[in-house]
Amino acid sequence: MITITGAAGFIGSALVARLNAEGFNDLVLVDDFSARPDKERNHADRTCVQRVERKDFAEWLRANENQVQFVFHLGARTDTTEQDRAIFDQLNLHYSQEIWRLCHELGLPLVYASSAATYGGGEHGYSDNHKHVDLLKPLNPYGDSKQAFDRWALSEAEAGRAPYFWAGLKFFNVYGPGEYHKGRMASVVYHAFRQIKATGGMKLFRSHRDDYADGEQLRDFVYVRDVVDVCHWLMHNRKDSGLYNLGSGQARSFLDLTRATFDALDVPHNIGFIDTPADIRDTYQYFTEADLSKLRSIGYAREMTSLEAGVTEYVQSYLSQDRVL
């Protein structure tokens, strides 16, 4: 039996779909199902043995420990504009600590979601070497909560209080099917598709730095299919615990991403610019790029999907057909 928290969310639901496709149907889906009925499309048609409310998961896990073989903890509050640190402390830090302690106590392997938001402005680079973790300075409370848990997990592991195998995955800018419920936090591909269909054009955030032209801000965009492939691989390769970057390994511009969306729709490029909203302007990342050398060093060899191929598949096979997964 495999448990997945955040199973109604973007990445969690994609992982459930992948596991079902691989013949894993003995799944337990964990989420706050009652609070977000708008996410039902992400899990309604998935094969599982049970759905468990997030608040009941710890008790359920204790009662069913002998049946569980693996825990994916992908649930989190991911709104980078949220400023209430208490929310992040509760959902991203304390809840994750509870799951970690249970996995250690019950002898269960754990893969959990960290974030590239821990890297802040990138002044210390994007290496997932554990020696660099204490140097990182996230730019918002969301990133702080992920950084706090990563640091705590490393200290627990050093003290011998860790699951026998664990991996914290620093997700970069993930895009793909199943993110329809994320609103403002959905990917630029999702927003570009909707804007282009509605207006024939797309407005990107203007650069507010002299060293970047408008639309040339660079991010590491990674297709959700690649993310779940790494999760699936780690489930079968449980020997090298630690933090791992999970991105494409190549920074691309928002202009690249948007042009790929226009091309996937086969319509002329029509791109304009608006000011970056004031509430995120001072904490906006202008460059991210995952260093994948550590992930490669433990044997993960599959090539990541190119930006153009990922956007084309997402737009033509999912968004244009109103499909989730």
Tell me the CA distances in angstroms from 83 to 133, 142, 281, one per residue in order: 23, 8, 14
pLDDT above 80: residue 35: no
Res 269: pLDDT: 98
What CATH superfamily classification does 2-173+221-249+289-304 receive? NAD(P)-binding Rossmann-like Domain (3.40.50.720)
Confirm if 49 and 41 have CB atoms less than 8 A apart. Answer: no
Region 75-100: mean pLDDT is 92
Q: What is the pLDDT of residues 164-207, one digit of tens each?
A: 999 999 999 999 999 999 998 999 999 999 999 999 999 999 99
pLDDT digits (tens, 9 = 90+) for 16-32: 999 999 999 999 999 99
Q: Are 25 and 18 in contact (CB under 8 A)?
A: no
pLDDT averaged over every residue in the chain:
96
Residue 82 pLDDT: 86
More confident residue, 186 or 79: 186
33 token code pair? 């199902």
Q: Which one is catalytic: 95, 126, 142, 175? A: 142
Kindly name the residue from 182, 212, 286, 300 that is annotated as catalytic.
Answer: 182
Q: Is 182 a catalytic residue?
A: yes
Q: How do residues 223-249 score in pLDDT, each as one tens digit?
A: 999 999 999 999 999 999 999 999 999
Total count of residues recorded for the chain: 325
- Residue range 298-323, pLDDT digits in tens: 999 999 999 999 999 999 999 999 99
Mean of the pLDDT values across residues 113-128?
96
DSSP letter string, 14-35? HHHHHHHHTT---EEEEE-TTT
Which pLDDT score, from 0 to 100, does residue 86 have? Answer: 92
Note if 142 is an active site residue: yes
Domain boundaries, the chain: 2-173+221-249+289-304
| Residue-level pLDDT at 231 | 98
This prediction has a pTM of: 0.96
The yes-or-no verdict on residue 70 having pLDDT over 90 is yes
Q: Which residue has the higher pLDDT, 282 or 319?
A: 319
Retrieve residue 194's tokens: 């909707």
Alpha-carbon span 322 to 325, nearest angstrom: 10
Mean pLDDT of 245-258: 98
pLDDT-derived band at 10 (thresholds 50, 70, 90) equals very high
pLDDT above 90 for 282: no
